[in-house]
Amino acid sequence: MLLRDHNPGGFEVFLLKRHDNSVFMGGNFVYPGSKVDKGGADGEIIPYCKGLPPDRASQILGVTGSAEDSLACWIAGIRELFEEAGILLACDRTGRPPTLKILEDLRGP
């Protein structure tokens, strides 16, 4: 679930509206999401999860499964947000938002 502070008085929740003709929940507002992939937090992805080690992900979610499974839930949420809504929550190795070459090419000189 993607939230944003909205002062005063609370926060905003990011939702998508499903197409009215969708077979499943047509016309409803939904959170972007799907299922957690097995191996979603394998050893290759963990170093890229800046600021959220697997044990902390498990503690925040309050689950009893493995810490890697908890981190996989976070990764799935971030992946689905990008796939379904085009919102990328990421940073490069320096901690800055990534630049995409295709966007630079579209902007031109």
Q: Which domain holds residue 27?
A: 1-31
Question: 84-105: per-residue pLDDT in tens?
Answer: 888 888 877 777 777 766 556 6
Are both 83 and 99 inside the same structural domain? yes
Are both 92 and 39 inside the same structural domain? yes
Are both 14 and 26 inside the same structural domain? yes
Q: Given this model, what pLDDT does residue 27 score?
A: 94
Are both 5 and 54 inside the same structural domain? no
**Domains in the chain, number:** 2
pTM: 0.70
Task: Answer yes or no: are the C-beta atoms of 12 and 6 closer than 8 Å.
Answer: yes
In the chain the beta strands, taken as DSSP E runs, fall at 3-5, 11-13, 16-17, 29-30
